Amino acid sequence: MLKLQVVYASEDQQTVVVLELPAGASLADAIDASGLRERFDLGDLSGRTGIYGRLRPEREPLCDGDRVEIYRPLLADPKDTRRKRARLRRR
C-alpha cells in the first residue's frame, strides 16, 4: 500500500486529503480517490497536476509518501504583471 497526500489550495483555504492506495496507483487514481475534483468542481485537470511542485501527467505512477498537487489556473500572466510594475516604477 502507498501512503500519500492529495492537496488543493483554493483562494481561501488549503485542503489536504491523506490516502492509502494499492501499489501501482497513478496520479489520476489518487485524485479520484480524494474526491477533490467533485468537491471543488475542478473539471479537466490536464496540465494542472504535479508531485512535490513538479508538473506531472495524470498517468504518472506514484511512490510511497508522494504529495500529489492540483494547481489552479493563473489569474494573470506573470510576465504582463512584471511589465506593468516596471512601467509604474518608471513613472
Decide if pLDDT at 67 tops 90. Answer: yes
Beta strands in the chain (DSSP E): 2-9, 14-21, 49-51, 54-55, 67-70
Q: 2-90 has which CATH code?
A: 3.10.20.30
Q: Tell me how far CA of residue 12 lies from CA of 9, 15, 24, 71, in angstroms.
A: 8, 10, 33, 14
Burial of 15 (0-12, 13-18, 19+ CB in 10 A): middle
Overall pTM > 0.85: no
Predicted pLDDT at 46: 85
pLDDT of 63: 96
Question: In the chain, what are the domain boundaries?
Answer: 2-90
Residue 91 pLDDT > 90, yes or no? Answer: no
Pairwise CA distance, residues 60 & 74, whole Å: 23
The reported pLDDT for the residue numbered 59 is: 93
Is a pLDDT exceeding 90 seen at residue 75?
A: no
pLDDT (tens digit per residue) in 9-65: 988 899 999 999 999 999 999 999 999 999 988 888 888 999 999 999 999 999 999
